């Protein structure tokens, strides 16, 4: 076998191996990617607006960033106050952010998380804990 023919055989293998090595080949641990606990908040302390609620509502920005649906939510400096507009502290599960976010009440944007999902549970736990700006 000549070095040219060996290169034809080994070259694609090396390129494929390099691509797998660079991409990580899916071997990283899921919690190192920031995947949240399916049962709710990830931190050991009380539910956190910054760590649990903001990430759960990131998909809302695409529509509500411009005020679509009579609610402005841009995830910016006033995000906490914007979310408070959609909170029912007397009946946390009836909060607009949970009902609409899970596709209920004819939410035009569809469902962004399901009832009982990690995002839903994180937001619910945060509301039940007093909806602090933490």
- pLDDT tens for residues 33-88? 334 444 455 556 789 999 999 999 999 999 999 888 889 999 999 999 999 999 99
pTM of the model: 0.68
Domain ranges of the chain: 1-29, 36-128
Query: Which of 41, 52, 72, 65 has the alpha carbon at shortest distance from 134?
Result: 52
pLDDT at 67: 86
- Which position has the token pair 């509502």? 57
pLDDT at 98: 97
Q: Say which residue, 106 or 45, is predicted with more confidence.
A: 106
């Amino acid at each position: 076998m000549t070095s040219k023919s060996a290169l034809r055989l080994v070259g694609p293998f090396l390129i494929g191996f390099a691509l797998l090595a660079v991409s990580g080949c899916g071997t990283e641990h899921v919690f190192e990617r920031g995947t949240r606990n399916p049962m709710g908040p990830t931190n050991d302390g009380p539910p956190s607006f910054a760590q649990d609620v903001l990430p759960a509502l990131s998909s809302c920005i695409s529509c509500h960033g411009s005020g679509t649906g009579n609610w402005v939510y841009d995830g910016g400096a006033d995000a906490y106050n914007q979310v408070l507009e959609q909170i029912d502290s007397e009946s946390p599960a009836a909060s607009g952010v949970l009902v609409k976010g899970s596709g209920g009440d004819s939410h035009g944007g569809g469902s962004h998380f399901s009832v009982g999902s990690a995002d839903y549970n994180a937001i619910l736990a945060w509301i039940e804990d007093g909806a602090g700006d933490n």
